[in-house]
Amino acid sequence: MLNRSKTWAVVLLVATFVAGIAVGAGGRALWARRAEAAASPSHGPDRMLASLAQELRLTPAEHDSLAAILQQHWTRMNAVWDAVRPRFDSVRVEMDSAVVRQLTPDQAAKYRDHVTRYRHRQEQERQGGGKKQ
């Protein structure tokens, strides 16, 4: 009986050690991902410019020129999106209604929850620097 207790104690100790390594590695990866997200702009012309600057190795003059161009066009693209957004939302409501009509009441509730979480997460990423909940 004593040997069996020692065996279980060793197994539990090893399992705890392995779990600690897994949690530590996962935490480190999460920490690195959040630090990277905080270091780079979340969206918009700044994010695009940061990506281009890194990939194309822009000179300071090129960086400034592209920043002005991207900012100008980003403002215009946002104006277009603002005009189109109500129609897009209307089509999305129609799509959701059509999907829900094909589902059981339980599935429909789960679908609505899923869509709500997804859209909330997308909105947070657009507004809050890529933060996910």
The residue ranges of every structural domain in the chain are 1-39, 42-133
Note the pTM of the prediction, 2 decimals: 0.47
Tens of pLDDT, residue by residue over 63-101, are 999 999 999 899 899 899 999 999 999 999 999 999 999
- The tokens describing 72, both together, are 């100008």
Total number of residues shown for the chain: 133
